[in-house]
Amino acid sequence: MKILHIISGGETGGSKKHLLQLFHNAPFEAELLLLIDGAFAQQARELGIHVTVIKQQSRLDLTVNNKIHQHIIQRGIEIVHSHGPRANFIMNNLSSKINVHWAITVHSDPKLDFLHQPKPLAFIFQYLNRRAIKKANHVFAVSTRFKEMLVEYGVDEQRISTIFNGIDYTNVNYDKDISNLNAHYNLTEKDFVAVHIARLHPVKGHAVLINAIEKLKPIKDFKLLLIGDGPERSAIETLIKQSNLSNHIKLLGFRNDIPQLLALADVSLLTSYSESFPLVLLESANAHTPIITTDVGGVRDLIINKDYGWIVKPKSVDELAQALIESIAAKANNSLQQMGDLLNVHAKANFSNEQLQNSLYQSYEMMISETK
């Protein structure tokens, strides 16, 4: 069974991590095809992944279609698995011309993928992506909620499988690294440290988070580390200054030491308006770090009750501020770490990379057997 995964290659967040982990000790022969030769491609090569780059200048560059078509034939690919709108567009054009099975993993709400684009262009891209998703032979949803969303969009329920994201869990012990980070950012044992890891994009809810932190301004020992980069960086910097929160919020940009930053934090935050199943929550669980998250995607599959973390309404400044206040109180009465430990046990039992790989493999076998 030969599998080809296609993704644009410019990703820096969850879908990139999903692919890189998926290839680790996978029970099937797989190749990664990218449309950009950048950091993603380099990291994949360093991990020993079979990488092919067929460069596409833009979403409107259709010259790659024939090149990918020929590559699929030459490599004897049986299943093409696309990730993200750009890869979906290409396979939508090729699927009727080539005899392969086509699967899609939906990593985000198609309605929200193009918020940064001008409205007419965003509408066109949304339409094309949703049409592609409906056309694929099989669609993988990374949460129960996302499967329900896809059915509402008109995708045949019989062609949808819910397969939870997973990671490889490790015993996190970064005492020296954490000590160095604390010193670098002037953090003390008295500080309550929250970490927020996300692309600086409108859908990630940074403005709501900053407004919630403003309500905590009287708590002098509260510190927020904002990790990530993106188109909203300038606007976020301005909002931090206008809110007089420069002493409370540190904007760190893109970082490669995410496990260490999660390990030093008292709580991990996710404030998005929409998500599928954020890998950063599993990474937080791996670090035994409790979570405060908006009620999006599959978070309720991970945080099954209040003993495992906080779930708040998207865009609710008050609920987010209240959850932060409760987490600070939990640290003071020594119950916060217990919450992180419970979360770790639950995540390891239900959201592993091995489970993800095995579930995909079974689905691939089913797709091929159905045509024999």
pLDDT, average across residues 345-354 = 93
Angle at 20 between CA 6 and CA 64, to 5 degrees: 20
φ, ψ of residue 22 to 5 degrees: the values are: -60, -30
Checking if the pLDDT of 155 tops 70, the result is: yes
| Residues carrying CATH 3.40.50.2000, the chain | 2-167+352-369, 175-350
Checking if the pLDDT of 115 tops 80, the result is: no
pLDDT, average across residues 349-360 = 92
What is d(CA 166, CA 174) in angstroms, rounded to the nearest whole number? 22
Homologous superfamily in CATH for domain 2-167+352-369 = Glycogen Phosphorylase B; (3.40.50.2000)
Checking if the pLDDT of 340 tops 90, the result is: yes
Residues ≥6 apart with Cβ < 8 Å to 200: 206, 228, 229, 230, 231, 232, 233, 236
The overall average pLDDT reported for the chain is 92
Give the pLDDT confidence of 203-255 residue by residue, as tens digits.
Answer: 899 999 999 999 998 888 999 999 999 999 999 999 999 999 999 999 999 99
Checking if the pLDDT of 24 tops 90, the result is: no
Residue with tokens 């699967």: 103
pLDDT, average across residues 124-150 = 92
For residue 371, the model assigns a pLDDT of 66
User: How does DSSP classify residue 7?
Assistant: E
Give the pLDDT confidence of 25-53 residue by residue, as tens digits.
Answer: 888 889 999 999 999 999 999 999 999 99
The fold for domain 175-350 equals Rossmann fold (3.40.50)
Checking if the pLDDT of 194 tops 60, the result is: yes
Of 121-135, 168-182, 228-242, the one with minimum mean pLDDT is: 168-182
Checking if the pLDDT of 283 tops 60, the result is: yes
For residue 88, the model assigns a pLDDT of 95
Checking if the pLDDT of 83 tops 90, the result is: yes
For residue 281, the model assigns a pLDDT of 95
Confidence of residue 78 (pLDDT cuts 50, 70, 90): very high
For residue 372, the model assigns a pLDDT of 55
For residue 234, the model assigns a pLDDT of 96
Task: Pick the most confident of 52-56, 119-123, 255-259.
Answer: 52-56
Are 141 and 150 in contact by the 8 Å Cβ rule? The answer is yes
Report the amino acid identity of residue 105.
Answer: T
Checking if the pLDDT of 282 tops 70, the result is: yes
Checking if the pLDDT of 108 tops 70, the result is: yes
CA atoms lying within 13 Å on the CB side of residue 58: 2
